[in-house]
Amino acid sequence: MDRARVAALADERLDWRFKAVPAAGWGLTAAEYLATGPTLDGLATPLVTLDAGALDHNLSTMAQWCAKAGVGLAPHGKTTMAPALWQRQLDAGALAITLANLPQLHVARAFGLRRIHLANTLLGPAGLRWIAAELATDPALRFTSWVDSVRSVELMAEALRGAPAPVDVCVELGAPGARTGCRTLAEAHAVAQAVHTAPELRLAGVSGYEGAIAHDATADSLAAVTRYVTELGRLHQLLASDDLFETEEVWITAGGSAYFDTVTEQLAPLADDRTRVVLRSGAYLAHDDGFYRGISPLARPSAAAATPFRSALHGWARVVSRPEPGLALLDGGKRDFSYDEGFPEPQLVRGRGRGPSGGRITALNDQHAFLRDADAGVSIGDTVRLGLSHPCTVFDKWTLIPVLDSADAELPRVVDLVRTYF
């Protein structure tokens, strides 16, 4: 990445556009604001923060896990859309950053990202012509897209006709009832042959997403994931035996943040001097206090010796009403916190060092959370820390996220600001 462009984020002026920044910080650059020594108590609610220690822990834990397992990592950048965090992941050994659509590619190139894996099919002619121009003007740029049909190959080739260099693609394998991807090995083989005969494209590997196969860690779900990943490995072997791959390095890539252990167990043995197995886990960096806490491979009973990830993501909301017994209304809701994989989890009341006893969030409105249970032990004006589930739908709600030295500290200090681009 362009380190100077990332570093220049510290020079951005803060103002009312950033809902996490108090009025006292308006007019200052991000660096100037941090130099004032801000603390959590100086920030308004609703609020989302990151924990510096947890980020460091998760970054090193995943890097060490991949190194020990002998697999590469191209973390999914759509989780955070934060170039400064992408830079940290690359510095920790990531091979590339994975993205999901054309607007995300625009952000990446604006920050000089040169190793990009698009976990999607890029079909729009305007987008294809743009990436072709980027490849032509930046010889160091390495870009790979996905494809899952012969028709997609035809459309891509047509849009790229006359481009100075081919675009690399991976054939995507899916599964019946799942998301995108060829449904059979025969279909995938036909797509690979079509790529091989199109001068505008080069076959660079095989790809898939096992997270579309299952959504929990039951024995049946893990077995289904294993079957799917095994088929992905068979696809690689089939295309390799037919000598269809055209790039110096070939990728077999899968692995979200829920089943990367299964992916590694099945695919890592296929790596060789030319073939690289690459995970695309993205949620591990922030982790969570919900979906990923319950499904992460490093938190399952079978991984008793593993070092689990720590949640770096927290919400903060203030009690603004106690309109009836057993109910407190907080000033944060759907516009602030994730809710698609479970409601926020009340964890502690600021200044009391304990959680709201028995309290639970039962509903969210746009700007309110319903904290219920008679012995919740909160009063109007109290600030409640919330554990959040599914980081992918938290980051997109905040253009600037304060990073605390420790969310568990008596008075957390703001030590950084993470800028996002959605």
Are 385 and 330 in the same domain? yes
Residue 406 has a pLDDT of: 98
Yes or no: say if 312 and 364 are a contact pair by the CB < 8 Å rule: no
Range name among 36-40, 199-203, 216-220, 301-305 with the lowest pLDDT average: 301-305
Are 28 and 124 in the same domain? no
| Residue at a domain's end among 256, 288, 320 | 288
Residue 421 has a pLDDT of: 98
Is the pLDDT assigned to residue 295 strictly greater than 60? yes
Average pLDDT, the chain: 96
Are 193 and 69 in the same domain? yes
Which range of residues forms the domain containing residue 325? 3-51+309-419
Look at residue 297 and tell me if it is in a domain.
no
| Residue 256, domain CATH | 3.20.20.10
Q: Kindly report, residue by residue over 384-401, the tens digit of the pLDDT.
A: 999 999 999 999 999 999
Look at residue 389 and tell me if it is in a domain.
yes
CB atoms within 10 A of CB 226: 17
Are 44 and 189 in the same domain? no
Range name among 196-205, 222-231, 243-252, 377-386 with the lowest pLDDT average: 377-386
Look at residue 300 and tell me if it is in a domain.
no
Residue 374 has a pLDDT of: 53
Q: What is the DSSP letter of 270?
A: G
Residues of the chain with pLDDT > 90, as a percent, come to 94
| Mean pLDDT on 264-275 | 97
CB atoms within 10 A of CB 220: 9
Are 47 and 102 in the same domain? no
Q: Kindly report, residue by residue over 79-106, the tens digit of the pLDDT.
A: 999 999 999 999 999 999 999 999 999 9
Residues of the chain with pLDDT > 70, as a percent, come to 98
Closest to 216 measured CA to CA, from 110, 292, 108: 292
Are 371 and 410 in the same domain? yes
Query: For residues 236 and 147, what is the distance between their CA atoms, to the nearest angstrom?
Result: 15
Residue 301 has a pLDDT of: 79
Closest to 175 measured CA to CA, from 188, 167, 184, 165: 184
In three-state secondary structure terms, 251 is: strand
Question: What pLDDT band is residue 62 in, cutting at 50, 70 and 90?
Answer: very high
Question: What pLDDT band is residue 300 in, cutting at 50, 70 and 90?
Answer: confident
Give 130's contacts (C-beta < 8 A, 6+ positions apart): 102
Look at residue 296 and tell me if it is in a domain.
no
Burial level of 302, CB count in 10 A (0-12/13-18/19+)? Answer: exposed
Are 67 and 204 in the same domain? yes
Are 413 and 279 in the same domain? no
What pTM does this model have? 0.96
Residue 304 has a pLDDT of: 67
Yes or no: say if 359 and 377 are a contact pair by the CB < 8 Å rule: yes
Residue 353 has a pLDDT of: 67
Are 138 and 37 in the same domain? no
Which residues in 56-84 are b (16+ Cβ under 10 Å) and which e? ebbbebbbebbeebebbbbbbbbbbbbbb
Look at residue 137 and tell me if it is in a domain.
yes
Q: Kindly report, residue by residue over 215-232, the tens digit of the pLDDT.
A: 999 999 999 999 999 999
Are 180 and 266 in the same domain? yes
Are 176 and 271 in the same domain? yes
Total domains in the fold of the chain: 2
Residue 160 has a pLDDT of: 98
Phi, psi (degrees; rounded to nearest 5) at 73: -135, 125
Are 85 and 107 in the same domain? yes
Look at residue 93 and tell me if it is in a domain.
yes
End-to-end CA distance of the chain: 18
Look at residue 301 and tell me if it is in a domain.
no
Look at residue 276 and tell me if it is in a domain.
yes
Sign of CA dihedral 219, 98, 177, 395: positive
| Residue 37, domain CATH | 2.40.37.20
Residue 375 has a pLDDT of: 62
| Residue at a domain's end among 259, 288, 317 | 288
| Residue at a domain's end among 288, 321, 343 | 288
| Mean pLDDT on 313-334 | 96
